[in-house]
Amino acid sequence: MSDRAPVTSPSDPVDDARTGRPDRNLALELVRATEAAAIRAVPYIGKGDKIAVDGAAVDAMRAFLSTVSFDGVVVIGEGEKDDAPMLFNGEHVGNGQGPACDVAVDPVDGTSMAAAGRQNALSVIAVADRGAMLDASSVFYMDKLVTGPEGRGVVDIRKPVGENIRALAAALDKRPEEIVVAILDRPRHEELVRQIREAGAGTRLLLDGDVAGGINAARGGTRIDMCVGIGGSPEGVTTACAVKALGGFMQGVLAPKDDAERERGLAAGLTMDHVYEVDDLVAGEHSFFVATGVTDGGLLDGVRHIDGIIRTESIVLRSASGTVRRIVAEHQASKWL
């Protein structure tokens, strides 16, 4: 009898069971946590209190994660920038049984948008093998470039954005005037927006939440072809989990705010002025990205409460199999009182 390991497909459960990697069924457990966070955030939408939005979502997500069969450590936490409630870096989540995982969480990506009643707020969890995620927490900002697979070998974050727009347009068999670039609407991006429009492309200005912008750039069939600009480095690592599953292209360069933050990053082992490719941000092929819509947006519908039913829409991405699943769930509202 041969002692060679059997050949398995990416979706074969024996692959996960024998290696101790995140099991494909883990995604269905994780989506319960993002659904709970999204549902609990709803009473605070449009009330102007982003701390209340985040606090309700954090409490719900933490409670549901405690029931999940995995040994998770939060590598990418949330809330530190503005002293909000948080699932903190280094926190252990899960019941301690099952695969050892790195975890990135953002109970509400876009708390300001949710608090203002605006679109595109999401509840997000990403999971990968232990040690797979880049811990970029010591440098808060990252300059990012995301496209679909057509951008691989075509665009480069070190090139001027106009050159990248023209190259991607050619790869997509489009005119530069047909390209749409997503970018956070921030004063720091005024010059970059000018260059994008000078190249003939259109912009999709994001009030917040560049995770959704990056995902839409990496997916086929959306109106966004590219996502660029400086956003949170935690969101960059989280986005990379989704981009891997979508087969997209992504690069990131850390953007420290000052010399002190630069030194902290260097002390933490990060490399400044270095282009991090998607596999540097999240290594390996065993990662998940799960998100549930909090408010309506281009990626997902938000939570809806109709006739005693709470409706949620979620997306589940798995890099090992390259699958994209949408999950629409109906919850009895009486169970959430």
Per-residue pLDDT reduced to its tens digit, 249-299: 999 999 999 999 999 999 999 999 999 999 999 998 889 999 999 999 889
> Strands 304-306 and 276-277, how do they pair?
unpaired
Predicted pLDDT of residue 207 = 86
Here the tokens at position 110 are 């876009």
- First and final C-alpha spacing in the chain: 58
Q: Please name the helix (run of DSSP H) or strand (run of DSSP E) that holds residue 211, with its range, or none.
A: helix 210-218
Query: What is the residue extent of each domain of the chain?
Result: 26-131+286-335, 141-281
Here the tokens at position 175 are 């005119």
Tell me what the mean pLDDT of segment 213-219 comes to: 94
pLDDT tens digits for range 144-191: 999 999 999 999 999 999 999 999 999 999 999 999 999 999 999 999
Tracing tokens 């282009």 back to the chain, one arrives at 275
Cα angle 239-242-243, degrees, rounded to a multiple of 5: 85
> How confident is the prediction for the chain on average, in pLDDT?
89
Count the Cβ atoms, other than its own, within 10 Å of residue 243: 30
Give the residue numbers of the binding site. 54, 78, 106, 109-111, 141, 186-188, 208-210, 232, 235
Give the residue numbers of the binding site for Mn(2+). 54, 78, 106, 109, 235
Which residues touch 337 (CB under 8 Å, ≥6 apart)?
none
The length of the chain, given as a count of residues:
337
pLDDT beyond 60 at 8 = no
- Lowest mean pLDDT, pick from 7-11, 58-62, 97-101: 7-11
Provide CATH code, domain 141-281.
3.40.190.90
- Would you give the DSSP letter of residue 187? G
pLDDT tens digits for range 119-149: 889 999 999 999 999 998 899 999 999 999 9
Give the residue numbers of the binding site for substrate. 109-111, 141, 186-188, 208-210, 232
Largest CA distance in the chain: 67
Provide CATH code, domain 26-131+286-335.
3.30.540.10
pTM: 0.87
